[in-house]
Structure 1
């Protein structure tokens, strides 16, 4: 083949490659979002103990699927009993709460983008339900959304086949380190009363896999929400390689 033909083929290949990259979405760019926050007290009530609902959330104009996931997760956090029916929307829940709630009741719901990396959007959802008791009920959760797959990733989506047991053993080692660093390992009663547990709150952050525990799961209510980070290096062979951030 002549040098002229080789050059022509190379030019065509480069042109096709440029066209393909032009029409593929760039997952390095941040997914655009908008902030939506509101606070409303029960209409007609002007006392200090009026029911109040505060909703602080995000919307994704170009990802309606993610919008629906966020709203559904926030609605799930309003449940006061397992399996209770969910309102059709956050607006419907707001109206129901303000119509039916007694004094000293309040609700706080929040969804915020914790970070974005490698085509993943990590959203942290929070709740605080106060029904007038001595202590309210805080809640936390994560959404790991893959822009490429257009779905929320479950733990099984994150792990290589057959690695769930190994993952939780690694998590238990991280829990032991947390006990030592907090000097709680010196209290036999604490270690016995608050053993390691699995958590549904797992996030694929840029620095490692974060495990977050709701109150009164691995420590008393007064200890608050506990968070542990496992570096990706400790999860080699467990997490799917394509989900490990490039810089890790």
Structure 2
């Protein structure tokens, strides 16, 4: 093949590559969102103790599948018993709750974007159910959504094969660091009564892998939702390389 033909083929390849890149999603540009918020009182109620449902969620016009994922996760957070059935939609949940709710009962559900980076959308979910007790029941959760894969990443999707034990050992180190930073490591009763446990709430934030705990899991209710952070360098060989910020 002549030098002219080789140069022509190379030029065509470069042109096609450049054209193809124009049609690739720019994962550095955050997805646009719209807020969908509402608060409704029990129909017919007009006194200060009216039950209410407050729903504050998100819509992703460019990624509509994510809307359904968020709604499903928020509905799962409405359970008061493990594996109890849930309403088919948030609107149906609102109607069911208000139909049977007593004075001062309330339910709050929220989804917000914690951050977006490297083609990941990190959504934090919050719930709060008040049924008239001494205090309400708050809940938290995360969604790690991969725009490239169009799916939610579970812990098994994040880790290298066979590295789950190593991940939780790194989490225990983060827990020890939290105890030291809060000086709770100096309280023998606290350390004894509130040992480290695993959590399903894991988020791939830009600054580190965050673990969030429901209240009364690793600390008393008064300390709220404890967050632990594992720095990415501690997860070399444990977390899949493409999930480290800046590597994808």
TM-score with structure 2 setting the length = 0.97
Matches within 5 A, 1:1-248: 1-246=1-246
Q: Give 3-state SS (helix, strand or coil) of 1:92's partner.
A: helix
- Give the Cα–Cα distance (whole angstroms) in 2 for the partners of residues 27 and 184 of structure 1: 41
Q: Within 1, Cα distance between the matches of 2:138 and 2:99?
A: 22
Aligned-pair CA distance for 1:98:
1.5
Deviation at 1:181, TM superposition (A): 0.6
Counterpart Cα distance in 1 of 2:207 and 2:185: 26
Q: CA deviation at 1:2?
A: 4.2
Deviation at 1:3, TM superposition (A): 4.1
User: Alignment length, in residue pairs?
Assistant: 248
Contact 2:241 2:247 in 1 (8 A): no
Moved over 6 A (4+): none
Task: Give per-residue Cα distances to partners, 1:7-58, cap 9 Å, x unaligned.
Answer: 3122101111012212222222211211111111111111111101100000
- Aligned-residue RMSD, C-alpha: 1.3
Contact kept? 2:167, 2:235, Cα under 8 Å: yes
Give the secondary-structure state (helix, strand or coil) at the position aligned to 1:210. Answer: strand
Given the two structures, how large is their TM-score scaled by the length of structure 1?
0.97
3-state SS, counterpart of residue 138 of structure 2: strand
d(CA) in 2 for partners of 1:104, 1:28:
44
Between the aligned partners of 2:120 and 2:74, the Cα distance in structure 1 is 20
Q: Provide the C-alpha distance between the structure 1 equivalents of 2:99 and 2:82, rounded to a whole number of angstroms.
A: 22
CA distance in 2, matches of 1:173, 1:230: 8
